[in-house]
Amino acid sequence: MTVKEKTRLRELAKQQRDLACSPEMEALRKLHWDLNTRESGSRPTVRIETAGFRSELIPETEQQCSDPFARKIENQLLYFIFHHCIIGDDQLIPRTYQMGWRVNVDYFGFPVTKETGLTAKNKPSTGYRTNHEIKKIAEDFHKLKPLKASVDREYTENYRIAVEDSIGDILPIEMTGWPAFVTFLTRNLLDLMSMENFYLAMVDTPDDVHRIMKYLLQNAIDLMKFFEEEKIMYVNNGDVDLWNSTYPFTDKLPAPDYNGEARLKDMFLRTDSQETVGISPDMFNEFCLPYYQQLCALGGLWYYGCCEPVHDKLEAIQAALPNLRAVSVSGWNDFNVIGEMLGSRYVYSRKPASAPLSGAGADWDAARADLERTKRSARPGYLEVLYRDLYDIHGDRKRLAEWVKLARRILE
């Protein structure tokens, strides 16, 4: 890292610090706190996830560092600054530089290989094909091994020291960490076998499906316990983004007997089961929900769902997960009933349709209609709107701020 690059990082760190400590950001923290503690009367929060088009939000022409390590820090700092200055939504800017531990995980005893497609611009697309190792559960189950994990403490500590030396006097380093993705049981199942074979197996060989679900549940528990035992888990009831869902502000965590070392019951975690969108509630209750129930009993509070509809399974999910706090509401839900089902007990976490802001031009009529539908369905004071799954904004960053203004105008 050159002196010029370090100077650049320090300037950006000061920008993030000033924004993070501003009265505007304190007001946003209060807004998110009111939402997640179910204080009625607060306006809906409005945010846009940028992971799918980050290279358009932060184009290479606006990055100045060449050193790979300096560039990584620069990109993280620019992400928060650009998000606030260009989009202007309710995204929180942390008062720290957040980083996690490098954890190496062997989930199944063999690597999951995927073939990625290309876009029309000859860039890697979001489409891929998984090379599934499990064709028939009974015949291939012997390939599966217990999960193994290790912490690369040397790499993580070297990374932390390097950030500390560069900007640590401006932005304190905050370690964050939780066992991501392993809690998504059916997502992990589809890394092993195709959806078609999974669906057929529930009819043809139901005992085998229970066998592999038990295996995936144990893997999830093992990794969650690993984070706990290795002391690389941190209470996250604040402005830590919960994997592009709600901010986990709550006065219910950590647990009353918290002694300074985070445990699973001190954590706000997330799970979903998008892959069971095509099965009946009865089949979901038989083959999936019992395993999610055991998994979620270990955590403190939970956010459930992503793009799958939940209205037809929500009553069973609510009964099985008493520590449920927030529920994702995608466009495939029945909006005539979902708002009443969630009521004032859960955060109504709305995921608008992605098509209106995608591609060459924005469809403002469709975006407006989608927001109006949300307004009619959700209870005031318990709504957050998170625009996700945008992958191509055609270089038009202005449309993001325009949508935020539109959403606030309609929903407030």
Domain coverage including residue 150: 3-411
Percent of the chain scored above 70 by pLDDT?
Answer: 99
Domain count, the chain: 1
Q: Which of 379, 95, 392, 91 is nearest to 245 (CA)?
A: 91
Query: What's residue 41's pLDDT?
Result: 59
Whether the per-residue pLDDT at 102 is higher than 80: the answer is yes
Cβ proximity of 224 and 183 under 8 Å? yes
> What is the rounded CA–CA span in Å between residue 142 and residue 158?
39
Query: What's residue 147's pLDDT?
Result: 96
Whether the per-residue pLDDT at 177 is higher than 90: the answer is no
Whether the per-residue pLDDT at 39 is higher than 70: the answer is no
Give mean pLDDT, residues 17-31.
Answer: 95
Higher pLDDT, 243 or 194: 194
Give mean pLDDT, residues 236-258.
Answer: 87
Give mean pLDDT, residues 122-130.
Answer: 85
Query: What's residue 124's pLDDT?
Result: 78
Token pair in block for residue 257: 């007997």
Whether the per-residue pLDDT at 15 is higher than 90: the answer is yes
CATH number at residue 84: 3.20.20.210
Spatial neighbors of 135 by CB under 8 A, at least 6 apart, are 193, 197
pLDDT digits (tens, 9 = 90+) for 360-370: 889 999 999 99
At 211, give phi and psi (nearest 5°). -65, -45
Average pLDDT, the chain: 93
Q: Label residue 180 by pLDDT band (50, 70, 90).
A: confident
Query: What's residue 90's pLDDT?
Result: 95
